[in-house]
Amino acid sequence: MAHREHIPVVIVGGGQAGLSVSYYLAQKGLDHVVLERHEKFHSWRVNRWDSFCLVTPNWQCRLPGFPYAGDDPDGFMVKEEITDYLDAFAETFAPPIMEHCTVTRIAERPGGGYLVDTSQGHYATDQVVIATGGYDNPIVPPYADQLDPAIRQIHSVDYRRPDQMPEGATLIVGTGQSGVQLMEDMHLEGRDVHLAVGPAPRSPRKYRGRDATDWLYDMGHYDITIARHPDPHHALTKTNHYMTGRDGGHEIDLRKFATEGVSLYGSVSGMEGTKISFLPDLETNLDDADSSYLGIRTAIDAYIAETGIDAPEEPPFAKLWRPEREITEIDCAAEGITSILWAIGFRPDYSWIDVNVFDAQGRPQFDRGICKQDGFYFIGLGWLNTWGSGRFLGIDEDAGYLADAIFAKSKRALQAAS
């Protein structure tokens, strides 16, 4: 039987969420270890394209004891600045992290606690925090296999810059935050870009003199918990609003890009050979995105009127373009499309967790990150408690809450043993 070292708390994942919990446990003097299969903050260093930047303003970077202190709180840090900020945070408390350590299995330990098997050893622990996020497996639909192999396919996680793509046109599939930013990245380089537009909503960037996220923060929008949300299912399943922090930040109106030569289609419905089919939902998706955009503007207008704030007026919204007809099929050869860039998201991989903390669909079940299974926790997921839970804005509060729960359980165990 393998020797197992006992560690009171094991945190799996060395990103900002896992290290935020580590920060608070270190403050409380509770022995623990952070297990990271790559190096800390790996996703920020490796899984981002060259022009990547934050979508939310720098002031929202509020890691524990380490809020953003630079000279551009309303700006948007680029990739290198983000990793510098994260590294500086880690240096404030020297987390007990074991890098290049892959956790291969977590199971319940007879008598209580958990068994943790890794590429660097075997451990027994009283409590486990899963901080691996939800971006393990890139999503590519099954029908992608039916596309002509001469057409190169790449996922957003592997995209770095436009010249990485083969000569010719590229079809980008997906209009979440990544998809629209990659579209703009290639368009600005003069590449021929086609875009399959999904149902993602969009947001204003600046509105009535301020960033829209500033208004929403003051309005208390980001303080709404999933428990108090009027439509929690919608909150948990909807795609994030798209906009960008590039070049100081601006909103993204896909209609504008259509006027500049980007070819827009509806949602992809199938592929075979060199043919790609689309649903006839382009105009519906554009209209729905605009409705979301206008809804945010209307809410801000109401807040300004209610509070009597003096804010500049904005011109009324006008649609710059609409499709003359819905294109439901194209031939890549005829359109000169030589590559597909998938930007339709990721799925988490929890196959290595052999603990009863999931529902029938494999989704983790918790209340503010605390599972019914004693001593098992999640952090860093969207709507763990609020909108900010999966972002820099809400990590501090979530980490402090979990650390308090972990410390309280540890204290009870010590009292019971004495």
What is the reported pLDDT for 235? 84
Closest CA to 277 of 315, 329, 227, 317: 329
Distance, in Å, from the CA atom of 176 to the CA atom of 178, rounded to the nearest integer, reads 6
Q: What angle do CA 65, 401, 70 make, to 5 degrees?
A: 25
Judge contact between 202 and 252, C-beta under 8 A.
yes
pLDDT at 353 over 60: yes
| E-state strands within 133-289 | 137-138, 152-155, 169-173, 193-196, 206-207, 210-211, 263-265, 268-272, 275-278
pLDDT band of 236, cuts 50, 70, 90 = confident
Q: In order of start, what are the domains of the chain with their CATH numbers?
A: 4-136+348-417 (3.50.50.60), 139-342 (3.50.50.60)
pLDDT band of 2, cuts 50, 70, 90 = low
Residue indicated by tokens 């509770």: 30
pLDDT in tens, 135-161: 999 999 999 999 999 999 999 999 999
Distance, in Å, from the CA atom of 342 to the CA atom of 265, rounded to the nearest integer, reads 15
| % pLDDT > 90, the chain | 94
* Strand partners for 370: 367, 377
| % pLDDT > 70, the chain | 100
3-state secondary structure of 16: helix
pLDDT in tens, 155-192: 999 999 999 999 999 999 999 999 999 999 999 999 99
How many CA atoms are closer than 13 Å to the CA of 183, on its beta-carbon side?
A: 32
pLDDT at 224 over 90: yes
Judge contact between 337 and 171, C-beta under 8 A.
yes
pLDDT at 46 over 90: yes
Judge contact between 183 and 160, C-beta under 8 A.
no
Helices and strands per DSSP (H, E), number in the chain:
10, 22
Q: How far does the chain reach from its first CA to its final CA, in angstroms? A: 30
What is the reported pLDDT for 33? 98
**pTM: predicted TM-score of the whole model, two decimal places:** 0.96
Mean pLDDT of the chain: 96
Q: Write the CB contacts of 393 (distance below 8 Å, at least 6 apart in sequence).
A: 56, 60, 61, 62, 222
What is the reported pLDDT for 86? 98
Residue indicated by tokens 């503007």: 297
3-state secondary structure of 57: coil
